[in-house]
Amino acid sequence: MSLYPESLTNLIEQFQKLPTIGKKSAERLAMSIVDKDSKSVEDFSNALKEVKDKIHPCKICGNLTEDDICNICKDVSRDETTICVIEDVRNLIAIEKSSVYHGRYHILGGLISPSDNVKAEDLSIDKLLERIDKEGIKEIILAISSTIEGETTSLFLAHLLENKDVRVSKIASGIPVGSNLEYFDQLTLERALEDRREI
Amino acid sequence: MSLYPESLTNLIEQFQKLPTIGKKSAERLAMSIVDKDSKSVEDFSNALKEVKDKIHPCKICGNLTEDDICNICKDVSRDETTICVIEDVRNLIAIEKSSVYHGRYHILGGLISPSDNVKAEDLSIDKLLERIDKEGIKEIILAISSTIEGETTSLFLAHLLENKDVRVSKIASGIPVGSNLEYFDQLTLERALEDRREI
């Protein structure tokens, strides 16, 4: 016999499907739903459906939006000649939170990964090339993680972009600000030394 | 300008209302909803509403159920003459998980707390007294936390039950199994010594 009534067991299972939510957390979250008033639960329930109904990728850059074109692509105050190429929306949010970049974005929707069977054709690369020509882009910044898949994708893109009349750069590898050198691997130290800058 | 489209911002706020979910976790959970297929999100959304629609307290003991009477009160194989008195459903689940108790329960729905303005009348105490008479209860076990509010409630109940023809006990205070003595406060040690048992 289950400890919980059927509908509660079902809700616990639903919570467990979310990332980082284990059985204990799922039980606690589901019990908190029982304690809420009907209106709050209905709001939550509707918010879930609404996100799925309304949110889709921006036709230009792939960012999440409720319209055809996202707020960043619509924003005329941003630099229209620079595109920052990133893996996914999470990376866009991280960069936007830092408020240091004021150009456009292009979301690849993944990274080249032979082990996961993700090929270059599966990424939004053709669209990027098209944008460079059509939008008169002058600079491309590759802001892609320094994982094996990330480096492979960056190299592939750098090679592709050689024929285009754009400046191509990639974000610096090195020691994070506030971190102690001793905790970082040899490759990171090597990169940090190579990319050293005069002060 | 918000970083997220409106419906996504709303969902993040909804997740933040859940216990132990901070801003970062709420963002991660909301993004995971965007990545799910429509069917999964609809299932989740419906599971929330269903819990609120179907679940209510058992008419006898206050446990959660989808029917009039909960599975534990319905279960004829359980000892019908013993009631374990607890604060809320979370405590019932904890005791059931241990599988050491096979009687009935009675949920008080809180603890006496002058600071939170919870009085004895606000708890399901009249119903407990009624059950003792009607169901021919022989033993009452008070399984209430050893907090100030818990102790107050236990004392109040013990006093009330003096006039009834039932055995009243409360669960032992002491050092948790597997824990080191040195980490516990004086009062816990005092109780553990007082409640010592011969071996």
Nearest CA in chain B to A15: B44
* Exposure on the CB side of residue B31, measured as CA atoms within 13 A: 18
**Among partner residues B18, B25, B38, which is closest to A32 by beta-carbon distance?**
B18
* B71 pLDDT above the threshold of 70: yes
CA–CA dist B70, B11 (Å, integer): 33
**Å between A90 CA and nearest CA of chain B:** 8
Token pair listed for A14: 């639903």
**Å between A198 CA and nearest CA of chain B:** 35
User: Angle B89-98/A23-35 helices, nearest 10 degrees?
Assistant: 150
**Å between A13 CA and nearest CA of chain B:** 9
The distance in angstroms from the start CA to the end CA of chain B is: 69
Our measurement of the distance from residue B34's CA atom to the centroid of its chain's CA atoms, rounded to an integer in Å, reads 34
- In CATH, the architecture of B77-173 is 3-Layer(aba) Sandwich (3.40)
**In this predicted structure, what is the pLDDT of residue A1?**
57
Give the best residue of A36, A41, A44, A72 to mutate against chain B (max B CB count within 10 A).
A44
- In CATH, the architecture of A74-172 is 3-Layer(aba) Sandwich (3.40)
CA–CA dist B126, A118 (Å, integer): 66
Chain position carrying tokens 């754009």: A166
**Among partner residues B10, B11, B28, which is closest to A20 by beta-carbon distance?**
B28
Express each pLDDT in B31-50 by its tens digit: 999 999 999 999 999 999 99
The most distant pair of C-alpha atoms in chain B lies apart, rounded to whole Å, by 70
Question: Contact B128/B86 with Cβ under 8 angstroms?
Answer: no
**Is A45 close to B40, i.e. CB distance below 8 A?**
no
Chain position carrying tokens 């190579």: A194
**Is A33 close to B48, i.e. CB distance below 8 A?**
yes
CA–CA dist A75, B82 (Å, integer): 69
Distances in whole angstroms, Cα of residue B39 to Cα of each of A49, B35, B109, B149: 10, 12, 37, 45
**Å between A199 CA and nearest CA of chain B:** 34
Residues of A in contact with B25 (CB under 8 A): 20
Reduced 3-state DSSP string for A144-163:
CCCCHHHHHHHHHHHHHHCC
Reduced 3-state DSSP string for A68-121:
CCCHHHHCCCCCCCEEEEECCHHHHHHHHHHCCCCCEEEECCCCCEHHHCECHH
**In this predicted structure, what is the pLDDT of residue B144?**
93
B6-54, CATH topology level: Helicase, Ruva Protein; domain 3 (1.10.8)
CA–CA dist B9, B41 (Å, integer): 17
**In this predicted structure, what is the pLDDT of residue A140?**
95
**Is B45 close to A43, i.e. CB distance below 8 A?**
no
Express each pLDDT in B114-169 by its tens digit: 999 999 999 999 999 999 999 999 999 999 998 999 999 999 999 999 989 999 99
pLDDT tens, residue order, chain A (199 aa): 578 999 999 999 999 999 999 999 999 999 999 999 999 999 999 999 999 999 999 999 999 999 999 999 999 999 999 999 999 999 999 999 988 999 999 999 999 999 999 999 999 999 999 999 999 999 999 999 989 999 999 999 999 999 899 999 999 888 888 888 888 888 888 888 888 888 8
Amino acid symbol at A187 = L
Element (H, E) at B7: helix B6-16
**In this predicted structure, what is the pLDDT of residue B168?**
94
Please tell me what DSSP assigns to residue B118: B
- What was the ipTM of the complex prediction? 0.85
Q: Predicted confidence band at B1 (pLDDT cuts at 50, 70, 90)?
A: low
Residues of B in contact with A32 (CB under 8 A): 18-19
The residues spanned by each domain of chain B are 6-54, 77-173
**Among partner residues A5, A89, A93, which is closest to B65 by beta-carbon distance?**
A5
**Is A20 close to B20, i.e. CB distance below 8 A?**
no
CA–CA dist A55, A73 (Å, integer): 16
Residues of A in contact with B32 (CB under 8 A): 18-19
CA–CA dist B86, A164 (Å, integer): 72
Residues of B in contact with A97 (CB under 8 A): 3
CA–CA dist A45, B11 (Å, integer): 9
Q: What is the mean pLDDT of residues B2-30?
A: 95
